[in-house]
Amino acid sequence: MTIRELTLALPPRRRARWLGIALTALLIVAGTRLAPALLPDPAVPSGTLPGGAPVPPVAAGDQAPAAGATGLVSPDERVAFWEPRVAADPRDYLSALHLADAYADRARATGDLADLQRAEAALIQAAAVAPNRLLVLPRQAQIAFALHEFPRAASLADEVLAESPNDLTALAVAGDALLETGDMARARQHYDRLNILAPSAPVWSRMARLAFLEADISAAFSLVGRAIQDAEANGFADEAAFYRYQLGELHRATGDLAAAGVAYETALVALPGYPAPTIGLAMINEGQGRRTEAIALLETATNRLPTPEALAALGDLYFLAGETEAAERAYALVERIGEIARATGAVYDRQLILFAADHDRAVEAAIALAESELELRHDIYAWDALAWALYKGDRLDEAAVAANHAMALSTPDPRLAYHAGMIAASRGETDLAERWLTQALAGAAYLPPLQVPIAEEALAALSDRRQ
Amino acid sequence: MRTAILNRGVTLFVLALLGLAMVVGSAALRVGAADHLDAPTVKSDHRIDINDVYVFQGANPANTVLVMTTNVHAGFLSGTSFRPGALYEFKIDNTGDAIEDVAYRIKFGDVRGDGSQQVHIQRADGAGNPVTGGGGKQVAKGSTGQALSVADGGMAWAGLADDPFYFDLVGFSAFKSAALAAVGGGLTGAELAGALGNICTSDPASNFFAGFDATAIVLEVPDWALDGNNASGVINVWGETAIVESGALTQVERMGLPTINTVFNHSDPTKEAYNRANPSGDPALVGGNISFLVSAIVGAAEQLGLYPGGIDEAAYGAAIANLLTPDVLTYDTDLMADFTALNGRGLNDDVINVAYGAVSAGVLTSDCVAEDNTLSGAFPYLGTANP
């Protein structure tokens, strides 16, 4: 069933429930292979990692890796194993901890918010009887991070690190939370520490993301390459699929669509049905003029994991294909997800701000949300979201200030360049606008589909004006 | 021979101390077995974490079997492979100085699509094959899951197997929680009795390790290949793992006796340092910790009337520290393994029952866990992996 059919077929109440289940598509906690806490947490919102919303997979149900047998049983099986143990003996804090891990892994695979809530409940039960709170706190930090409660996640992680400075989980969560809130220097310190204590693919993947943000694209490619090699040599097919996806995102951001396509397809061979590379592949198809294929891929991905960003992209493609009613239904679905998401936290705020600004829907509310988010997070993507919303609200001077913050690291993210370029153009800063829009369009497959023709028209207008 | 100086009563009490000592040594214990996940490096990759080391007589009495289990709860906490490129080692001292005279070095290749890995086994025993470093003469080669012939006699096997360790970890954890605060601060007899009430709350009690697998390396070789035909037939054995750090092969884990690092070292840095040290330095490295802790526990146990004639706690602590260091499994290759006599360690040896029996002065003789092993009398001896 396609998204179009689904939105038509479901009665409102069931649709809302279905959407609720989908809300945690990006909410994951750390992985389960090397260091349980070390897999990058793709719960980061759109824009913090090239391509938006990577979802490192786990072997769950039909997502079982096709190659490189890891031997790790699925989260479903682990939940089924640990649940009766926990129920049988309330003293059994170890089983409760493992059950929490299994719930969290299953949430990563299915996007079921309820599993994160179950994980929290299991951790509360464990905390009541565990002899050492350091067994529980790092996991609670992970869950808080997955819920985008960054200050709480950082606080919990710091509490652990105060007693156990080399706790890998706490170091990873603290570093990730620092990155999400814009403290790059301290995030780097944590990652460097992790790299000393546990040099491994999950750490290199994190460092690659940091390198990308700081515009060291060469280092980013190198680190992701190391992560892939390491994961594949160790037989961690699902992890390798995530790193292949991350590689694809780097290629897509830098305009190498062929290489990006290979990376996504390789990820999908290792892990068929994995939504994140499916979305990436859809964007590649759109970038290469194969809109029908792009729509089909996005329908597949969003049927499986309907994230706001992917649904918005699907709506854009419908719109560009002339299917305006289908587009509007997809957009309405994004907004409905937003309403539900806000009732449970701030997980999708950033995606929703950008969606609203991109589509000129409830722009004032988007500005307010962006300003609110900036109070908690000071990373470049928080500034970018605010800049874009302010621009759409015709507050151009403020938008320019915010855009300057967003571009402070020269991060080679085409979306940042697009926003900054449009803002500069509106202020008559022709040279700057041309440079940034040119940069943005070099990675056009990275932009929301509906924004590409807008960027092209703006650049052409600048050229005309110069002539 | 070290075991010769022990009478059974002393041995029982040593094991009792180990049982109680786990009370205070569990900060890094995630699943609570002999040596599991005891320091940051091994916690970063369970596959290089040694669970247990066993040494016992083979089905052929002229052979000795060495077993190293790794990767606790394999398949549930991590995958089921060995770490490619890591070095897994059995080290054997046959001169009594806790410095290796023979080493068997096992390496694994990249994980194949079916989950199997290539296995290389080298032996190092002298100037031509120095025991220091990471090399040696190749004595076996094959794949995981296959029985491999070892040059000069013997067999080797590596793969996934049922974890032979068994223990009511939940009951022990409750016991531990109840007793933890008092250890070192004057544990009273009543407090100890209360804590012991958490043991055997059901019969049979739950075995936390039931149904779990571990990765395991099994090596069976003629006694002479280990003891070098020394006069006593006694060897000291321990396991190590090493990985490449900063371009150099670096020891990151070791284990001989169960629980030593987990119990007697109390911080990540000291656990890490211990894992990277050699057994010969153990008296200085961990002897003080053992002596302190054992003395405290003896003091508590004395309040229960276990020592009507009194006991010199400090002297006893020092004696136990001397006994437990270096951290190696001592084994007389002419005898059957029996951990209660500190002669090697058989796959089915129940450390916990022995320890509890001594802790409770005979009132509590078991943690009520029935062993669930499906061991084989023939190579590779371990139970098959759980379905």
In a domain, A447, yes or no: yes
Q: How many residues in total does chain B contain?
A: 387
Residue A425's domain comprises 348-467
Chain B residues whose CB is inside 8 A of the A67 CB are 113
Q: Is the pLDDT of residue A379 over 50?
A: yes
In a domain, A427, yes or no: yes
Distance CA A363, CA A390 (A): 8
pLDDT digits (tens, 9 = 90+) for B67-94: 999 998 888 877 899 999 899 999 999 9
Per-residue model confidence (pLDDT) at position A58 = 28
- pLDDT (tens place) for every residue of chain B, 387 residues total: 333 322 323 333 333 333 332 222 222 222 333 455 555 566 668 899 999 999 999 999 999 999 999 998 888 877 899 999 899 999 999 999 999 999 999 999 999 988 899 999 999 998 788 888 888 999 999 999 999 999 989 999 999 999 999 988 888 777 766 765 555 556 666 776 677 778 888 888 888 888 899 999 999 999 999 999 999 999 999 999 999 887 889 999 999 988 788 777 777 788 889 999 999 999 999 999 888 877 776 777 677 776 777 778 788 888 888 888 999 999 999 999 998 888 999 999 987 776 665 444 344 678 888 888 989 999 999 999 988
Q: Which two tokens stand for residue A358?
A: 């991109």
Phi-psi region of A130 (alpha: psi -120 to 50; beta: other; left: phi over 0): beta
Distance CA A117, CA A1 (A): 29
The distance of Cα A438 from the centroid of its chain, to the nearest Å, equals 25
Distance CA A24, CA A307 (A): 8
Neighbouring C-beta atoms of residue B246, cutoff 10 Å: 7
Q: Which of B27, B44, B111 sits opposite A234 (nearest CB)?
A: B111
Largest CA distance in chain B: 65
Amino acid at B357: G
Query: CB of A232 within 8 Å of any CB in chain B?
Result: yes
Q: Which of residues 309-338 of B touch A (CB under 8 A)?
A: none
Query: CB of B111 within 8 Å of any CB in chain A?
Result: yes
On whether the CB atoms of residues A133 and A124 are closer than 8 A, the answer is no
Query: CB of B84 within 8 Å of any CB in chain A?
Result: yes
The dihedral formed by the CA atoms of A227, A216, A264 and A453, expressed in degrees to the nearest 10:
170
Hey, are the CB atoms on B45 and A70 less than 8 Å from each other? Answer: no
Out of A106-110, A401-405, B199-203, pick the least confident: A106-110
Per-residue model confidence (pLDDT) at position B186 = 62
Identify the CATH number of the domain in which residue A433 sits: 1.25.40.10
- Percentage, residues of chain B above pLDDT 70: 80
- Greater confidence, B313 or A169? A169
Q: How many CA atoms does the CB half-sphere of A31 hold within 13 Å?
A: 31
Nearest chain A residue to B47 by CA distance is A34
Closest CA to A358 of A300, A329, A299, A315: A315
| φ/ψ (deg, to 5) at B290 | -65, -45
Per-residue model confidence (pLDDT) at position B40 = 58
Residue indicated by tokens 């080399």: A166
Q: pLDDT-based confidence at A71, cuts 50/70/90?
A: low
Structurally, chain A folds into a number of domains equal to 1
Distance CA B151, CA B122 (A): 10
Per-residue model confidence (pLDDT) at position A109 = 65
Residues with Cβ < 8 Å from A74, sequence gap 6 or more? Answer: A58, A59, A60, A61, A64
The sheet carrying B148-149 orders its strands as: B50-57, B63-74, B213-222, B155-162, B148-149
Query: CB of A200 within 8 Å of any CB in chain B?
Result: yes
- Greater confidence, A198 or A448? A448
Residues with Cβ < 8 Å from A429, sequence gap 6 or more? Answer: none
Q: Identify the three-state secondary structure at position A71.
A: coil
Average pLDDT value over all residues in chain B: 81
Q: Is the pLDDT of residue A452 over 60?
A: yes
Average pLDDT value over all residues in chain A: 83
Distance CA A94, CA B31 (A): 7
Residue B185 to chain A, least CA–CA distance (Å): 17
Q: Which of residues 73-132 of A touch B (CB under 8 A)?
A: 73, 78, 81, 85, 88-89, 91-95, 97-98, 129, 131-132
- Greater confidence, A246 or B308? A246
Hey, are the CB atoms on A35 and B44 less than 8 Å from each other? Answer: yes
Task: Go through B352-365 and write b for each residue having 16 or more CB atoms within 10 A of its CB, e for each that does not.
Answer: bbbbbbbbbeeebe
What is the radius of gyration, based on Cα positions, of chain A?
Answer: 21
Per-residue model confidence (pLDDT) at position B176 = 66
- Percentage, residues of chain A above pLDDT 70: 82
Q: Crossing angle for the helix pair B313-324 and B282-303, nearest 10 degrees?
A: 140
- Percentage, residues of chain A above pLDDT 90: 61
Residue B283, preceding peptide bond in cis (omega within 30° of 0): no
- Average pLDDT, stretch A201-220? 96
Q: pLDDT-based confidence at A24, cuts 50/70/90?
A: very low
Neighbouring C-beta atoms of residue A14, cutoff 10 Å: 10
On whether the CB atoms of residues B324 and B316 are closer than 8 A, the answer is no
Distance CA B48, CA B36 (A): 10
SS3 labels along chain B? CHHHHCCHHHHHHHHHHHHHHCCCCCCCCCCCCCCCCCCHHHHHCHHHCEEEEEEEECCCCCEEEEEEEEEEEECCCECCCCCCCCEEEEEEECCCCCCCCEEEEEEECCCCCCCCCEEEEEEECCCCCCCCCCCCEEEEEEECCCCEECCCCCEEEEEEEECCCCCCHHHHHHHHHHHHCCCCCCCCHHHHHHHHCCCCCCCCCCCCCCCCEEEEEEEEEEHHHHHCCCCCCEEEEEEEEEEEECCEEEEEEEECCCCHHHHHCCCHHHHHHHHCCCHHHHHHHHHHHHHHHHHHHHHHHHHCCCCCCCCCHHHHHHHHHHHHCCCCEEEECCCCCEHHHCECECCCCCHHHHHHHHHCCCCCCCCCCCCCCCCCCCCCCCCECCC
Per-residue model confidence (pLDDT) at position B184 = 55
Per-residue model confidence (pLDDT) at position B187 = 63
Q: pLDDT-based confidence at A14, cuts 50/70/90?
A: very low
**Chain B interface disruption, residue of A134, A232, A234, A236, most B CBs within 10 A:** A234
In a domain, A142, yes or no: no
- Average pLDDT, stretch A268-278? 88
Per-residue model confidence (pLDDT) at position A338 = 82
Residue B34 to chain A, least CA–CA distance (Å): 16
Q: Is the pLDDT of residue A122 over 70?
A: yes
Amino acid at A135: L
Amino acid at B143: S
Per-residue model confidence (pLDDT) at position B4 = 30
Q: Which of A78, A167, A235 sits opposite B76 (nearest CB)?
A: A78
Per-residue model confidence (pLDDT) at position B197 = 79
Per-residue model confidence (pLDDT) at position A59 = 28
Query: CB of B268 within 8 Å of any CB in chain A?
Result: yes
Q: Which of residues 345-374 of B touch A (CB under 8 A)?
A: none
In a domain, A117, yes or no: no
Hey, are the CB atoms on A131 and B31 less than 8 Å from each other? Answer: no
The distance of Cα A412 from the centroid of its chain, to the nearest Å, equals 17
Chain A residues whose CB is inside 8 A of the B77 CB are 32, 36, 98
Neighbouring C-beta atoms of residue B305, cutoff 10 Å: 9
Neighbouring C-beta atoms of residue A436, cutoff 10 Å: 26
Per-residue model confidence (pLDDT) at position A358 = 97
Residue indicated by tokens 């003091």: B299
Distance CA B324, CA B18 (A): 10
Per-residue model confidence (pLDDT) at position B204 = 87
Neighbouring C-beta atoms of residue B88, cutoff 10 Å: 26
Hey, are the CB atoms on A72 and B79 less than 8 Å from each other? Answer: yes
pLDDT digits (tens, 9 = 90+) for A285-341: 999 999 999 999 999 999 888 888 999 999 999 999 999 999 999 999 999 988 877
Q: How many residues in total does chain A contain?
A: 467
- Average pLDDT, stretch A108-116? 73
Per-residue model confidence (pLDDT) at position B21 = 28
Distance CA B340, CA B1 (A): 15
**Chain A interface disruption, residue of B37, B76, B110, most A CBs within 10 A:** B76
On whether the CB atoms of residues A331 and A302 are closer than 8 A, the answer is no
CA distances from A433 to A417, A423, A427 (A): 9, 8, 9
Per-residue model confidence (pLDDT) at position B29 = 21
Helices (H) and strands (E) in chain A, counts: 24, 0
Number of cross-chain residue pairs from A and B with Cβ atoms under 8 Å apart? 115
- Greater confidence, A254 or A275? A254
In a domain, A418, yes or no: yes
Distance CA A419, CA A54 (A): 22
Q: Residue A410: is it exposed, middle or buried by C-beta count within 10 angstroms (0-12/13-18/19+)?
A: middle
